Amino acid sequence: MIKTMIRLTQLLSAGTLGLALSTSIAQAADALTLYGNIDIRQVNLAFRDMGRINDIRVHEGDPVKAGEVLAELDQTRFLDTVRKAENAVAAQKEIVAKLLAGTRPQKIQQARERVAAAKAGVRLAEITLKRIRSVEKKGYVPPEKLDEAQAKYNQAVANLAAAEAGFNLALEGPRPQDIAAAKYKLASMEAELALAKRVLQDSKLIAPANGVVENRVLEPGDIASPQAPALILALNNPVWARAYLPEPELGKVREGMRAWIESDSFPGKRFAGWVGFISPTAQFTPQPVQTPSVRTTLSYRVRIYACNPEGELRLGMPVTVQIPLNQPQPVPASQQRCAQ
């Protein structure tokens, strides 16, 4: 009887253990566990132009926001260039306005009076020429006088033609080509002004995204150049976990799938994330000739992005990644975002 009870107890215990083991396996089959380390992006911030650094407003460890001014060069020569360009644009605008306004009324009136004076001169020269012709036929004046009167008449006619041409030009105003050339020159000067303002704006170092100052390379008084970073910025949201996916599990994971990241530094806390990248090539590739027992040891690098608004996940931190497998159609990785 006792032996029978002992046997029954053993059978019940084995059944319970088998049930628990099967439950554990089922739960493990619902999620894929990976292990990796946290990576972050770094940005080397350098000025676009050379100049002496006037001020650096941040230090190592300072959090910064996108669009924040982090440092600036001495702006004296940049401001002088902007003022010079502004004055050139203003002067050219006046020239264009002058051309568009046409000839001043006073000059038109002056040209009209010159025409009237030239006509009077023609009439006088014509009367004088007729007189000399009438008396020259009677032999009272030498032929030279007639020639002189004819020359004065011809000159008066030419003066009238010149005066009338000047009057017509005054009425027509500037040529369209001159106006167009002045406008093109103004556009070129405005472009130079915009460039000068852009150079002035680039004399300030602007944070391209939210992050933390990792290194302050240069100091006020140093000469900055585009080849020398002044600050190094760590972009800490989002960060990502670098892990490796075994080849047999490759078909279970797709980019855009939801994931959770856990760290020993924050027990019980999970960071929301998503699968952002799966390498198209295998890592730790064995010899080209593979046997069925070896080819499954291939691994593929994956990147699981994690939202890190408080900057708790840091570079190199070991983490555990949980990827639920029973997910609906994943959102494309390019559309995934962390709340700012």
Residue 29's pLDDT is what? Answer: 56
DSSP for residue 328:
-
Average of per-residue pLDDT across 199-223: 93
Report yes or no: 79 and 257 within 8 Å, Cβ to Cβ.
Answer: no
Q: How far apart are CA 216 and CA 81, in angstroms?
A: 29
The yes-or-no answer to whether 30-41+235-335 and 43-73+203-231 have a common fold is: no
Residue 137's pLDDT is what? Answer: 67
pLDDT band at residue 322 using 50, 70 and 90 as cut-offs: very high
Look at 6-15, 96-105, 199-208, 329-338 and tell me which has the smallest mean pLDDT: 6-15
Residue 223's pLDDT is what? Answer: 94
pLDDT band at residue 288 using 50, 70 and 90 as cut-offs: very low
Residue 296's pLDDT is what? Answer: 52
Q: Where are the domains of the chain?
A: 30-41+235-335, 43-73+203-231, 83-197
Q: Encoding tokens for residue 308?
A: 């890190």
Q: Look at residue 177 and tell me whether its pLDDT is greater than 70.
A: yes
Q: Look at residue 236 and tell me whether its pLDDT is greater than 50.
A: yes
Residue 281's pLDDT is what? Answer: 84
Return the percentage of the chain with pLDDT > 90, whole number. Answer: 37
The single-letter code of the amino acid at 41 is R
Tell the residue number behind the tokens 């644009």, with chain if given: 89
Look at 190-199, 215-224, 267-276, 295-304 and tell me which has the smallest mean pLDDT: 295-304
Between the alpha carbon of residue 41 and those of residues 59, 113, 177, 191, 217, the distances in Å are 19, 80, 55, 36, 17
Residue 138's pLDDT is what? Answer: 65
Q: Look at residue 309 and tell me whether its pLDDT is greater than 70.
A: yes
Q: Encoding tokens for residue 31?
A: 């999620």
- Residue range 43-73+203-231 in CATH 2.40.50.100: yes
Average of per-residue pLDDT across 181-210: 94
Residue 106's pLDDT is what? Answer: 81
Residue 333's pLDDT is what? Answer: 65
Q: Look at residue 187 and tell me whether its pLDDT is greater than 90.
A: yes
Q: Look at residue 9 and tell me whether its pLDDT is greater than 70.
A: no
Average of per-residue pLDDT across 263-272: 90
pLDDT band at residue 239 using 50, 70 and 90 as cut-offs: confident
Mean pLDDT for the chain? 81
Which pLDDT tens digit goes with each residue over 107-161? 878 888 888 888 888 888 888 878 877 776 666 777 777 778 788 888 888 988 8
Residue that wins the pLDDT comparison between 4 and 165: 165
CB atoms within 10 A of CB 193: 20
Residue 6's pLDDT is what? Answer: 36
Residue 12's pLDDT is what? Answer: 36
Residue that wins the pLDDT comparison between 128 and 11: 128
229 prior amide bond cis, ω within 30: no
pLDDT band at residue 246 using 50, 70 and 90 as cut-offs: confident
Average of per-residue pLDDT across 266-278: 90
pLDDT band at residue 74 using 50, 70 and 90 as cut-offs: very high
Q: Look at residue 275 and tell me whether its pLDDT is greater than 70.
A: yes
What's the CATH code, domain 30-41+235-335? 2.40.30.170
Residue 68's pLDDT is what? Answer: 95
Return the percentage of the chain with pLDDT > 70, whole number. Answer: 84
DSSP for residue 288:
S
Tell the residue number behind the tokens 């009870």, with chain if given: 5
